[in-house]
Structure 1
Amino acid sequence: MGLRAQVRTRDGWAVQHAVVTVTDMTGTQVLRAAADEDGAVRTEGSLDAGAYTVIVTAVGYAPAASTAMVTASGRVEAGTVVLSRQGGVELPPPGAWSLDPAHCSVAAVAQHLGISSVRGRFTEFSGRIEIAEDVQLSRVEAVIAASSIETGNSMRDKHLRSPDFLDAERFPEITYRSNGLTPTGPDRWLVHGELSMHGVVRPVDLDLSYLGTGPDPWGGVRAAFSATAELHREDFAMNYNQVVQAGIAAIGTTLRVELDIQAVQGETLPS
């Protein structure tokens, strides 16, 4: 008996602690309840048969209102109520999206001499995202030119392209292909995939945040993401290291990958 409802985002996430208010046709509140951690609303009691207005509110979401009919059972069956995030932070529409290299950054950070960091970035790459109706079935593929690494020091860049590290002549491409998504929050996912680098293929997870979707000045639609991952050089057979005094390695063995991505809806980029 009473009220039954599920409160969800457009992409299926539960809106925890949303508040559902039911009023009769005179505007008088007859019921008020909060959703649980699963976005479910269940109350006991009954209402008189007739038409009622169901209003659902939650912090950070635009309110939603609908009409519900109460039958002789006295129960309000509001079904699934979908709330839209304020500020337009909705998932991108399903379909193909292409990375726009001019508005993306693929960077890596390594520790230097145990006291500071060296930042590098790849300047040549391409990629494609396929957003599925069921977002957890979405896929991403990316290809990076290993020789495009830049750290702001030409001597160091040459060494990074050498067989000691990327061996860019033998292994010109670094590739990443996803094989699954695990949601970790309303706008966050763990992207599971395989990274091929220096002739070695290893599973690598990306901690992905979705930043929003909107129109661009060229008549297209863009979606923005950021992602991070942690790599270990030895996992990819890059074992070179120079040890300086006191046993401190010149270059750290752990790399932090930082991605800032803009993807354009469709198969082609704007000219």
Structure 2
Amino acid sequence: MSITTGTWTLDAAHSDVDFVVRHAGISKVRGSFQTVEGTLQLAEDFTASSVEVTVDVASVNTKNEGRDEHLRGTDFFDVAQHPTMTFRSTQVRGSADEFTVVGELTLHGVTRTVELAAELGGQDVDVFGTTRVGFEATGEISRKDFGLTWNAATEAGGLMVSDKVKLEIGAAFVLPQDEQQA
């Protein structure tokens, strides 16, 4: 599939930055970040493309306000000291249809290399004449790698929060009007 090169802007209203973590060893808790911005640079040589994303960590939403407040506090994200999470790609491997994005994820003041498996959802022009492109990406991180170590033991001896966190990202980008006419 052919995609338009240029600088694209993340369409936050049509994008999701979600996570899944095992809770008490028996179920999964899903959450998302509501405030996110980013830029995608699509190059002629797709592997030379890059992406930068900034997430407002205080915008975490797990559908439970008490849990969200705990996540915003010093036991987890400590949003007063670390208000954002960022991802900056350093390498793209593969083709536009299916690829791996390698980048530096900074969370809780710690930066680690993360790999995301990704695929192109497609490119189209919407009913308003805006050119859009969409991607899906998944990955997994260790909370401990980012200094997020809070936990509590369950009665059965398990842990309340798993170390492994799955990332699920659905990103839509728009091409600014001045680039659409170039």
TM-score between the two structures when normalised by the length of structure 2: 0.94
1:188 aligns with 2:67: no
204, 212, 218: which one pairs with 2:122?
212
The alpha carbon displacement at 1:251 in A equals: 1.1
1:188 corresponds to which letter in structure 2?
A: E
* Offset from partner CA, 1:94-134 (integer Å, 9 cap, x none): 10111101001110000011111000000001011000111
32, 40, 53: which one pairs with 1:142?
53
The alpha carbon displacement at 1:91 in A equals: 3.4
157, 160, 169: which one pairs with 1:250?
160
Write the mapping of 1:1-271 to structure 2, written as runs, cut at 5 A.
Answer: 90-183=1-94, 187-266=97-176
- Equivalent-residue separation in structure 2 for 1:128 and 1:266 (angstroms): 11
- Equivalent-residue separation in structure 2 for 1:134 and 1:259 (angstroms): 23
- Equivalent-residue separation in structure 2 for 1:182 and 1:106 (angstroms): 22
- Equivalent-residue separation in structure 2 for 1:96 and 1:198 (angstroms): 28
Classify the secondary structure of the residue corresponding to 2:105. Answer: strand
TM-score between the two structures when normalised by the length of structure 1: 0.64
- Equivalent-residue separation in structure 2 for 1:182 and 1:212 (angstroms): 18
Percent sequence identity over aligned pairs: 37
Residues 1:126 and 1:186: Cα distance change in structure 2 (over 3 Å): closer
- Equivalent-residue separation in structure 2 for 1:98 and 1:265 (angstroms): 6
Classify the secondary structure of the residue corresponding to 1:136. Answer: helix
Report which of the two structures shows the higher radius of gyration computed on alpha carbons: 1
1:220 corresponds to which letter in structure 2?
A: T
Structure 1 residue ranges without an equivalent (≥5):
1-89
Q: Which has the higher contact order (CA 8 A, sep 6+)?
A: 2
Given that 1:98 and 1:267 are in contact with CA atoms closer than 8 Å, whether structure 2 keeps it comes out as no
The alpha carbon displacement at 1:189 in A equals: 0.6
Write out the 4+ residue segments of structure 1 that deviate beyond 4 Å after TM superposition. none
2:10 corresponds to which letter in structure 1?
A: L
- Equivalent-residue separation in structure 2 for 1:116 and 1:141 (angstroms): 32
Structure 2 residue ranges without an equivalent (≥5):
none
RMSD: 1.3
The alpha carbon displacement at 1:267 in A equals: 7.6
The alpha carbon displacement at 1:217 in A equals: 1.8
Residues 1:98 and 1:267: Cα distance change in structure 2 (over 3 Å): farther
- Size of the aligned set, in residue pairs, is 178
1:8 corresponding residue in structure 2: none
Given that 2:123 and 2:134 are in contact with CA atoms closer than 8 Å, whether structure 1 keeps it comes out as yes
The alpha carbon displacement at 1:186 in A equals: 6.3
The alpha carbon displacement at 1:163 in A equals: 1.1
- Equivalent-residue separation in structure 1 for 2:110 and 2:3 (angstroms): 33
- Equivalent-residue separation in structure 2 for 1:240 and 1:118 (angstroms): 16
Structure (1 or 2) with the greater helix fraction: 2
- Equivalent-residue separation in structure 1 for 2:3 and 2:75 (angstroms): 41
